[in-house]
Every structure is written in structure tokens, then in C-alpha cells.
């Protein structure tokens, strides 16, 4: 019996290990445009080439969005009372993952291409190699009253702007979007009534 339990535990551990992927370290000194140049060039882009992001490019993008930037675990995007309540999900052609800022890892949530539910009624968004979905987790505030809703909306907007500015600085194309098939995303990610998809950013290289 003991041996059986040990085998089950080991199997579960290895499944967990397979489902979590370490990203390359973010290149914090990567050559990008300056903040002023990024602000000068930032714009919404709705056409993407079919070039995929490399793991390094994805790592840099996710770290810029909400990665840990201090030894105490604080992140690049400020959040109300440092609740860090915006979860960031990554939709690619291969699967759907949650970005785990504290370990800079991807946790797999679903296999396969689910970018269509992020695109919703805007077909163009399906052609971006990556779609980032920001999900507000009201559980971190203990309730979903008007104040919590306001803070979550603001914090998602801040993370979204981190993505917009990083993309502008790194030569990537993106557009902030509220359009998406919310109920399909809720179902796929197994979200509860205190977790709400707020915004998304399709990201890729410009078509032209
Ligand atoms: C909160 C928010 C939601 C948006 N939702 C969408 C959307 O669903 N679809 C879309 O194509 N653009 C969307 N946009 C992009 C805006 O249309 C765009 O930012 C605006 O037209 C200004 O253009 P610019 O970003 O190039 O300055 C959204 C922008 C924001 C800030």
C-alpha cells in the first residue's frame, strides 16, 4: 500500500513538473527604444505577420507585463495595496498557460489552439501568435464590491499599458482589447464567479 501511494505521489509530481515550464531569464538590458521613443511610436496595430515569438521574446514580454522586479516579490506593474490580483494568461497555437511571475514560469492550463475565443468577433486577433488575457481575481480583495471592481479595472489597465509600451519599444505589434468571448474563456480556464477576464492584448510582429 505504502509503495502504491509513493508511486501515485511520484506520478503526480512528474505531471506537475511537465505542466510547468521555466522561461528563459528576461533580458533586462535588452536593446529597445527608450521610454520617450516608445511613447512616441505606441499605437494600436491590428495586422500581424505569421512570425512566432521565440521563448526569449515571450519571456521579455511577460516580465515587462508583470514580472518580479525587486527581491521582495514586487512586480513591474503596480497594483492596489500590492494585491497582485491580475492573472496573466498566454494563448498560443500550442496551448494556454498562466504566467507565474514569482517563478517566471508558465503553467499549462489547456492544450491546443484556443486563440479564437480571445479574438471573439474580431477575426484579425486570431492571427497574432500570442494573445495575453488579463483576469481580475476579486478573491484577493475579499469581495467584489464597487471599490474592488474599480481597483481591478485600473490594475488591469496598468498591466495592459506595460504590454503596449514594451511592444512599442521592442518592435512588436499589439492592440489593447476588451472584445473577447468571456464566457468561453471563463469555461476553459475554470474561473469562478470572483474571477473576471478584463482585457486582452494580441501580440506579434507587424504584418508589414
Ligand atoms: C480599454 C480599451 C478597450 C479596447 N478595446 C478594443 C477592442 O475590443 N477592439 C479593438 O480593436 N480595439 C480596442 N481598443 C483599442 C482602441 O480602439 C484604440 O486604443 C484607440 O482607437 C486609440 O488608438 P491608438 O491605440 O492607436 O492610440 C481598446 C482600447 C482600450 C484602452
Does any ligand 1 atom lie closer than 6 A to the CB of residue 169? Answer: no
pLDDT band of residue 18 (cuts 50, 70, 90) is low
Q: Is the dihedral of CA 88, 91, 96, 99 positive or negative?
A: negative
Query: At residue 9, does pLDDT exceed 90?
Result: no
Cβ of residue 154 lying under 6 Å from some atom of ligand 1: no
What does pLDDT average to over the chain?
Answer: 93
Rounded to 5 degrees, what are φ and ψ at 43? -160, 160
State pLDDT tens for residues 96-126: 999 999 999 999 999 999 999 999 999 999 9
Condensed to tens digits (0 to 9), the pLDDT of residues 127-171 reads 999 999 999 999 999 988 999 999 999 999 999 999 999 999 999
Distance CA 100, CA 103 (A): 6
98 CA from centroid of ligand 1 (Å): 24
Q: At residue 108, what are phi and psi to the nearest 5 degrees?
A: -75, 130
Residue 11: is its pLDDT beyond 70? no
**In this predicted structure, what is the pLDDT of residue 208?**
76
**Which domains can be identified in the chain, with CATH numbers?**
22-204 (3.40.109.10)
pLDDT band at residue 17 under the 50/70/90 scheme: very low
- Establish whether residue 206 lines the binding site of ligand 1, counting it when its CB lies within 6 angstroms of any ligand atom: no
pLDDT for 171-199, tens place per residue? Answer: 999 999 999 999 999 999 999 999 999 99
Provide mean pLDDT across the span 22-41: 97
Ligand 1, atom 19, lies closest to the CA of 44
User: Residue 115 C-alpha to ligand 1 middle, in angstroms?
Assistant: 18
CB 23 within 8 A of CB 104: yes
Pocket-testing residue among 45, 175, 181, 185, ligand 1, by greatest number of atoms within 8 A of Cβ: 175
Tell me, rounded to whole angstroms, the distance of Cα 138 from its chain centroid.
Answer: 17
Residue 114 Cβ < 6 Å to ligand 1: no
DSSP labels, the chain? -HHHHHHHHHHHHHHHHHHEEEPPPP-TT-----HHHHHHH------B-SPPPPHHHHHHHHHHHH-B-STTS-BSS--GGG---EEEEEE-SSEEEEEETTTTEEEEEEES--HHHHHTT-GGGGGSSEEEEEEEEGGGGTS-SHHHHHHHHHHHHHHHHHHHHHHHHHT-EE--B--S-HHHHHHHHT--TTEEEEEEEEEE-B--
For ligand 1, is residue 178 a contact (CB within 6 Å)?
A: yes
Amino acid at each position: 500500500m505504502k509503495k502504491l501511494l509513493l508511486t501515485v505521489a511520484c506520478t503526480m509530481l512528474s505531471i506537475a513538473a511537465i505542466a510547468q515550464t521555466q522561461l528563459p531569464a528576461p533580458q533586462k538590458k535588452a536593446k529597445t527604444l527608450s521610454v520617450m521613443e516608445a511613447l512616441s511610436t505606441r499605437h494600436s496595430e491590428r495586422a500581424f505577420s505569421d512570425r512566432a515569438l521565440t521563448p526569449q521574446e515571450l519571456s521579455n514580454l511577460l516580465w515587462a507585463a508583470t514580472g518580479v522586479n525587486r527581491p521582495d516579490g514586487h512586480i513591474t506593474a503596480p497594483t492596489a495595496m500590492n494585491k497582485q490580483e491580475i492573472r496573466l494568461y498566454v494563448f498560443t497555437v500550442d496551448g494556454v498557460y498562466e504566467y507565474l511571475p514569482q517563478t517566471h514560469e508558465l503553467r499549462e492550463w489547456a492544450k491546443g489552439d484556443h486563440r479564437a475565443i480571445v479574438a471573439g468577433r474580431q477575426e484579425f486577433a486570431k492571427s497574432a501568435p500570442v494573445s495575453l488575457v488579463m483576469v481580475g481575481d476579486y478573491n484577493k480583495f475579499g469581495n467584489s464590491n464597487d471599490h474592488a471592481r474599480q481597483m481591478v479595472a485600473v490594475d488591469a489597465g496598468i498591466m495592459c499599458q506595460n504590454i503596449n509600451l514594451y511592444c512599442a519599444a521592442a518592435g512588436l505589434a499589439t492592440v489593447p482589447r476588451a472584445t473577447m468571448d468571456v464566457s468561453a474563456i471563463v469555461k476553459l480556464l475554470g474561473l469562478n464567479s470572483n474571477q473576471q477576464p478584463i482585457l486582452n492584448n494580441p501580440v506579434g510582429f507587424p504584418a508589414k
